[in-house]
A and B are shown apart, each in its own frame.
Chain A
Amino acid sequence: MYPIVDHEVLAPRVHRLRVQAPVVAEKAKPGQFVILIIDEKGERVPFTISDWDRDAGTVDFVFIEVGKTTQQLATLQPGDRLLSFIGPLGRAAEVDRYGHVVTVLSGYGIAATVPIIRALKEHGNTVTTIVQAPDKERLFGVHPLEELSDDLILALGTKGDGMMESTTVAIRKLLDAHPKKPVDRVIAMCSLCLMRVLSEMTRPLGIKTMVHLTPVMVDGTGMCGACRLSVGGTNRFACVHGPEFDGHEVDGWEVLMARRCTYADESILQQGFQCRGCSQW
C-alpha cells in the first residue's frame, strides 16, 4: 500500500498529493507518469509526476477535480493509503541544449512541467514560460516557474474574452519576433485543443513542438491500446511510445480529442468540461 504523506490545496479544486513510493521515486524522470488506483473498486488513472525525492522515497503529482476519482482523491489526507501506485511510466521528456525554448502550460501541466524546465536550464537553455489559467484565483505554482524561467508570461483569460486567445496572443508575439529573437523549440503540457493550435502555429516556421498528450488509459504499460493515436501515419501508444510526441507528426488530433472524451459524460462529472466547438459534443 502507498501512504499519502502530504496534501496541499493549490487553488480551488486543484491539489498536490505526496505519496510514499520509493520504487517509483528511485527511477522517476521529467515527463513520466504514474497509474494509481485508490481502492479495489477504483479505476486505473494516470497522473504526470510533478516532483520526487529519491532519498525520502516520495513522489508528488498535481491534479484537478474533474470526475469521480479525482474528487475522491481530493478527500484523502496524510495517513490514508492508495491501493496501487505504478511507475514511473512512459518515456522521459526529450531534453537537450536547443537555445531558446518556449514552454506553454495549463492545468496540471503548470506543476508537472517544472522538472522538465529544471532539466532544460541544466542543459543551458533560455526558457520563456507561458502559463494559461482562467483567472488569478485559479492560478497556482507560479513561484518555481518564476525562479526557473528566464521570462514568465501569465495568460489569464478574463471571463468574456476567451482565455485561449490570450495564450495564442502571447505565442503569436514570440513567433513574430522569430527568427530575429529565435524560438528554437516549443514544449507544451496544456489542453489538447491548445496543443493542437500551437502545433499548427509553429508548423510553418518549422519550430519543433513537443506535446504531452493525455488520452484515456487503462493498463498503462502497453497492453490494451486505449491510449493509441495516429502519429506519422502509424499507431502509437501514448503509454509506451509517449506521452510526449512531436506535435507536427500527430495526425490523429480529431479522433484523439474524441477518444479523450469517450467517458466524459460518465466518469467526468464536471459540467463545464465540454470544450467549446469540439466535434465530440
Chain B
Amino acid sequence: MTEAKEPKASPKKPKLNLNRVEMPKQSEHERRHNFDEVALGYTWELAKEEASRCIQCKKRNCQQGCPVNIDIPDFIAALQREEIEEASRILKRKTSLPGVCGRVCPQELQCEQACTLNKKGAPIAIGRLERFIADWERTQGAPTMPEMAPSTGKKVAVVGSGPSGLTVASDLAILGHQVVLFEALHVAGGVLMYGIPEFRLPKEIVQREVQYVQALGVDLRLNTVIGINYSLDELLNTDYDAVYLAPGAGLPKFMRVPGENLNMVYSANEFLTRTNLMKAYLYPEYATPIKMGKRVAVIGGGNVAMDAARCAVRLGAQEVYVIYRRTRAEMPARLEEIENAEEEGIQFHFLCNPTGFLSDGRNNVAAMELIRMQLTEPDESGRRRPVPIPGSEYIMDVDTVVVSLGTSPNPLIPSTTPDLEVTRWGTVVIDERGRTSKARVWAGGDIVSGGATVISAMGEGRIAAAAMHEYLTNGQKKIIPPTPAKDED
C-alpha cells in the first residue's frame, strides 16, 4: 500500500459543505514553493471509508452524469469488497485515462452532482476514488489489459494525442482496428502535458497512461504535423480508412490593446508550455528559461488562468493578481481551483479590464492601465455583460502579464482541407456523432468546441469512436471471419 505522506493537519476550516472524507493536501504555505502535487491522494483506509458511504442506488444517476459512462457503482462496490484490481478493471473498461479523470474532471458538475447523497449530505468523492484506483494500479498492481477484439484489417489515423485523440485511439485499438496516432509536439498528451501544471496533474501519470494506450498496439508518431507533413487527403488516399481530427486549440487570443507585445507579456499557452511541457521551473537543469518579474497579472477567469497564476506563485512571484472583468460568481474556473488559488495568496481583482500596457522605456512591461466594469442585465447566454464605467481608469504596477483569454481554433488543417466545413470562428462542423463534412473524417475536442474541458473532449472522442467503428465494420456489430477460400473445381 503506498503510504501517502502524513496528511498535514490542514486547518479544519470547512470550505465546502461536504462531510466526505477529506483529501490530504500539502499546506498552503508549503505548496507555494514547489511543483509537487497539491492533493496527496487517499490512503487505502481513507478510500475504503469513503467507498463505504456509497449506498449503491439502482438508478445509477452518477453513471449517467459521466461523459464517458464509467460504471461508477460497480467499481465502488468492488472497493467495498476490497477488490482493488477488479475495481481497476471496471474503471478501465470505460476510460484509458483513469489517473487523469480522477484528477482534473469537474466531478462536482457531473457524476458527483448527480449523486443521490447530495440531498442528505455530501456526494461520494468519486473523482478521489478513481484517482486512488489509478494510482494503486500504477504503483502496485500489474496494469490490467482489456480483451482485444480480433483485427478488423482496417487502419485509422488519429490526429492529435490530447485527451480526445487518446480516447479514440484506445477505443478503436480495443475494437481491433490498427491505429496510428500523429502528434505535432515531441511528447504525447496535448494539454495534459503543456497546459495542466505538474501540481494538478503529474506528467509521469500522463506518460504512464500514454504508454498504456501504446501497449494496446497504437503506433505513436511524434514530431509529425498533419496539415504540413501529410494533408488529410494524403492520409485518406494512401493507407487510412478513416481519420479522427483532434489537434486541439490553436492561436491564443489577445486583447488588441496598446503595449500587448511588450516583453514579458505572455499568452497563457506560452507561459504554461515553458513551465509545464519544457519544465522551465527546473531551469537551468532544463534548458528552457522563463523570465518572470515580481508582480504578475493574469488576465482571465478560467481554469487556465488559475493554473497560470498558481505557476507564477511557485516560480517565485511576490504578488500575483487575477484580473477578471466579471465577478467571482461568473468565473468559469472550477470552485476547487479558485479556492486553491486563494489559499496560495493569489489576489483577485473583479469588475476590471485592462485597456493597455506601459513600457519601462526599454519595451519591458512596467504597468497596466485598467478600467472598472459593471454588469448589465443577463444576455441571451444568461451571463451578465460587463461594460466599462467611463472615467474609472486607473493604473497598476506589474512587470509580468499572462493573457489567458482562450484560444481560436488551429487553422492549419482546415486551411489545407478545402472540403472540411468550418464555422466562421474556424471550428470544425460535426453532426451529433462527430462526423465532419468530409467523407471518412470525424472530429472532436477543442477543434470542434473552440476550447472546453478535458472530459468533454474525451466524451466527444467516445461518441465519435463508436460511430467510426460502425462505419469501419459497415454496421456489422460482430466481425464475420473471412469465408475459407473454395478449392478450384
Contact = CB atoms under 8 A, between A and B. Distances in A.
Interface residues of B, number: 42
Interface in A249-274: 252, 254-256, 258-259, 262-263, 266-267
B270 A224 contact: yes
B473 interface: no
A164 interface: no
Contacts of A256: 261
B363 to A, nearest CB: 3
A255 B273 contact: no
B287 A23 contact: no
Interface stretch (A36-44, A55-63, A99-107, A115-123): A36-44
Contacts of B411: 222, 240
Contact of A235 (B223, B256, B263, B363): B256
A229 to B, nearest CB: 7
A39 to B, nearest CB: 9
Given A258-B364, A259-B263, A218 B228 contact: no
Tell which of A26, A37, A42, A225 has the most Cβ of chain B within 10 Å. A225
A69 interface: yes
A223 B269 contact: yes
A226 B222 CA distance: 22
B233 to A, nearest CB: 14
A218 B363 contact: no
A108 interface: no
A247 interface: no
A27 B261 contact: no
Contact of A225 (B267, B285, B287): B267
A86 B407 CA distance: 23
Contacts of A23: 224, 229
A87 B229 CA distance: 7
Nearest to B254: A235
B312 interface: no
B252 to A, nearest CB: 5
Contacts of A263: 289, 291
B363 A219 contact: no
Interface string B279-301: 10001011111010000000000
A229 B278 CA distance: 23
Contact of B289 (A89, A240, A258, A266): A266
B358 to A, nearest CB: 13
Secondary structure of the B side of the interface? loop
Nearest to B279: A41
A166 interface: no
A68 B229 CA distance: 29
Interface string A203-224: 0000000000000001101111
Contacts of B287: 41-43, 68-69, 267
A104 to B, nearest CB: 25
A228 interface: yes
Contact of B291 (A24, A218, A262): A262
Given A89-B228, A235-B261, A263-B291, A43 B267 contact: no
A223 B408 CA distance: 9
Interface string A165-181: 00000000000000000
Contact of A237 (B223, B251, B283, B291): B251
Contacts of A224: 252, 267, 269-270, 273
B249 interface: yes
Interface string B225-252: 1001100000000000000000001111
Interface residues of A, number: 46
B362 interface: yes
A225 B289 contact: no
Most buried by A among B184, B256, B260: B184
A279 interface: yes
Contacts of A221: 184, 225, 228, 410, 412
Given A223-B251, A225-B251, A235-B254, A85 B286 contact: no
Given A222-B410, A266-B289, A259 B273 contact: no
A41 B362 contact: no
Contacts of B260: 235
Interface string A69-94: 10000000000000111111100000
Contacts of A240: 251, 411-412
Nearest to A279: B362
Contacts of B254: 225, 228, 235
Given A41-B285, A86-B225, A258 B363 contact: yes
A27 B251 CA distance: 24
Nearest to A267: B289
B289 A254 contact: no
A108 B254 CA distance: 32
A229 B261 CA distance: 7
23 contacts: A41-B287, A42-B287, A44-B186, A44-B278, A86-B184, A86-B223, A86-B225, A218-B288, A221-B412, A222-B251, A224-B273, A225-B251, A225-B254, A228-B254, A229-B261, A235-B256, A235-B261, A237-B251, A252-B261, A255-B261, A262-B291, A280-B363, A281-B362
Interface of B: 184-186, 222-225, 228-229, 249-252, 254, 256, 260-264, 266-267, 269-270, 273-274, 278-279, 283, 285-289, 291, 362-364, 407, 410-412
Given A41-B285, A86-B225, A222-B412, 12 more contacts: A37-B186, A42-B287, A86-B184, A86-B224, A219-B185, A221-B184, A221-B412, A223-B251, A224-B252, A255-B363, A258-B263, A267-B289
Interface of A: 23-24, 26-27, 37, 41-44, 68-69, 83-89, 218-219, 221-226, 228-230, 234-235, 237, 240, 252, 254-256, 258-259, 262-263, 266-267, 279-281
The 9 A-B pairs with the shortest beta carbon distances in the complex, nearest first, are: A258-B363, A224-B270, A225-B267, A84-B186, A43-B287, A43-B288, A224-B269, A266-B289, A86-B223
